[in-house]
């Protein structure tokens, strides 16, 4: 049955349809090929990279040795996991990876809690002072004091070179809070009313009715917040400059330093580089792949949620 439907759809497709398909295939390639290229490099032998043989498929090196002299080299397609071994045994890299995972988890939970606490009371139309509170919140979307006043504030309250600076200043995104509120508003008022008649207070209504019905929104917001924290590094760069805070720098900042060639001299990342020219290339590529992998694995599964979430925020009001 499915087969015949598809066949008829194919048959009815016009030239215009095929032109669009071709454009879309182009788009898919443009999105995927850069990533593929990095994966290929991360799996290639340094010598193959130096010889400029690597494009989209990983290559290894085969040496033809006669009497202990290399007479010929070939670079057939093949994978080597050396770069990943270097990365995954690098204490600094693995610590940054683990720390960023923990930090992302804690931050996301805190952000979701705060966002719900902020959005839920604002769904009560009769809440006294709702207008002024909403204005106070929305205004911060359109005007911010800027970096230096923020820096001075963080200094005043003791957050410079303090791990909490990676969590506290970004607790609520107004944009995501509005999405949350809008989602809450979509839950039938009658549920709330009947619970209130049964004597449930606002907190009870939130926990027993609103939260269980809000999994799609919570998943969307959770993903947005988590991606923001996983990908974020400027706060650590600006507000945690002290050397003794280096343990608490997130993975993206470490990656930035690796890409900028600013890594210290005592790590295997550099030992690898010293061992073979071209090695840095494959190790860098492997670091990039490892740092983007977690998000790339998660986001497709949450797609149906976040599409709903984003469109919810798009309708103004």
Partner 1 sequence: MAKFTNYMQRYWALYAMLLLPMAFFIIFRYWPMINMQIAFRQNNIILSIWEVPWATNPDGTTNIFANFQRMFAHPPFADAFRNTVMFSILDIAAGFPAPIILALLLNELKFRRFKRITQTVSYMPHFLSWIIISGLAIQLFAPDQGTVNVALYNEFGLGPIPFLNQNNPWIATVVGLGVWRSVGWNTIIYLAAITNVNPELYEAADMDGASRLRKMWHVTLPGIRPVIIILFILALGGVMAADFDRFLALRNPLVASVALVLPLYIFEWGITNWQFAMATAAGMVQNVINLGLVLGANFVVKRLGGDGLW
Site for partner 1 in 8-47 (CB under 8 A): 9, 12-13, 16-17, 20-21, 23-24, 27-28, 30-32, 34-35, 37-38, 41
Question: What DSSP character marks residue 168?
Answer: G
In the chain, what is the straight-line distance between the N-terminal and C-terminal CA atoms, in Å? 45
Least separation in angstroms between CB 12 and partner 1: 8
DSSP 206: I
The answer to whether 283 and 272 have CB atoms below 8 angstroms apart is yes
Among 222, 232, 269, 272, binds partner 1 (CB under 8 A): 232
Q: Considering the complex, what minimum distance in angstroms separates the CB of residue 190 from partner 1? A: 18
- Interface residues for partner 1 in 237-296 (CB under 8 A)? 238, 252, 255-256, 259, 281, 284-285, 287-288, 291-292, 295-296
- Measure CA 115 to chain center: 19
Ramachandran assignment for 277, one of left (phi > 0), alpha (psi -120 to 50 degrees), beta (any other) = beta
The count of chain residues that interact with partner 1, using the rule CB under 8 A, is: 86
What is the x/- site pattern for partner 1, positions 177-196, by CB under 8 A? Answer: --------------------
Compute the distance between CA of residue 82 and CA of residue 247 in angstroms, rounded to an integer: 25
Quote the CA–CA distance of 62 and 47 in Å, as a whole number. Answer: 10
Binding segment (CB under 8 A) for partner 1, from list 74-82, 214-222, 230-238, 266-274: 230-238
Nearer to partner 1, 32 or 106 (CB): 32
What is the rounded CA–CA span in Å between residue 117 and residue 115? Answer: 5
SS3 of 41-86 = HHCCCHHHHHCCCCCCCCECCEEEEECCEEEEEECCECCCCHHHHH
| Binding-residue pattern over the window 137 to 176 for partner 1, x denoting contact by CB under 8 A | x--x-xxxxxxxxxxxx---x----------xx-xx----
- Which C-beta is closer to partner 1: that of 212 or that of 300? 300
The minimum distance between CB 241 and partner 1, in angstroms, equals 8
Percent of the chain that is helix, strand, coil (3-state, to 5): 70, 5, 25
* Residues 239, 233: Cα–Cα separation, whole Å: 10
Positions 103 through 142 that interact with partner 1 (CB under 8 A): 114, 117-118, 120-121, 124, 127-128, 133, 136-137, 140, 142
- Which residue's CB is nearer to partner 1, number 12 or number 91? 12
Decide whether 105 or 299 has the Cβ nearer to partner 1: 299
Distance CA 43, CA 48 (A): 10
Residue among 66 and 297 whose Cβ is closer to partner 1: 297
Which of 203, 243, 262, 265 binds partner 1 (CB under 8 A)? It is 203
Cβ of residue 168: shortest distance to partner 1, in angstroms? 7
267-280 b/e (C-beta count within 10 Å ≥ 16 → b): bbbbebbeebebbb
**Taking the complex as a whole, how short is the minimal distance between the CB of residue 35 and partner 1, in angstroms?**
7
Q: Based on CB atoms, which residue is closest to partner 1, 71 or 142?
A: 142
Q: What is d(CA 296, CA 23) in angstroms, rounded to the nearest whole number?
A: 23
Whole-angstrom distance, CA of residue 245 vs CA of residue 257: 15
Smallest distance from partner 1 to CB 143, Å: 5
Binding to partner 1 in span 55-94, by CB under 8 A: 55-56
């Amino acid at each position: 049955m499915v087969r015949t439907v598809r066949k008829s759809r194919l048959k009815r497709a016009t030239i215009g349809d095929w032109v669009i398909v071709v454009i879309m295939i182009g788009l898919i390639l443009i999105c995927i090929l850069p990533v593929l290229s990095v994966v290929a490099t991360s799996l290639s032998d340094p010598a193959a990279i130096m010889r400029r043989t690597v494009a989209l498929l990983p290559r290894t090196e085969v040496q033809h040795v006669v009497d202990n002299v290399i007479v010929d080299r070939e670079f057939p397609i093949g994978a080597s996991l050396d770069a990943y071994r270097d990365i995954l045994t690098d204490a600094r890299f693995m610590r940054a990876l683990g720390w960023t995972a923990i930090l992302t988890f804690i931050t996301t939970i805190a952000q979701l809690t705060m966002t719900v606490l902020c959005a839920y009371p604002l769904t009560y139309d009769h809440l006294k002072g709702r207008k002024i509170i909403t204005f106070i919140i929305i205004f911060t979307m359109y005007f911010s004091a800027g970096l230096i006043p923020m820096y001075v504030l963080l200094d005043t309250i003791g957050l410079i070179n303090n791990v909490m600076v990676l969590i506290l200043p970004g607790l609520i995104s107004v944009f995501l809070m509005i999405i949350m509120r809008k989602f809450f508003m979509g839950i039938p008022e009658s549920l709330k009313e009947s619970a209130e008649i049964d004597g449930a207070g606002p907190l009870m209504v939130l926990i027993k009715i609103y939260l269980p019905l809000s999994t799609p929104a919570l998943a969307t917001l959770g993903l947005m917040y988590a991606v923001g924290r996983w990908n974020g590094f400027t706060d650590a760069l600006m507000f945690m400059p002290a050397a003794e805070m280096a343990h608490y720098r997130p993975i993206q900042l470490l990656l930035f330093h690796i890409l900028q060639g600013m890594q210290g001299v005592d790590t295997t990342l550099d030992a690898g580089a010293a061992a073979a020219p071209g090695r840095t290339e494959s190790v860098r590529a492997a670091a990039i792949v490892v740092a983007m992998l977690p998000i790339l694995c998660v986001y497709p599964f949450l797609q149906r949620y976040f599409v709903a979430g984003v469109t919810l925020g798009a309708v103004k009001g």
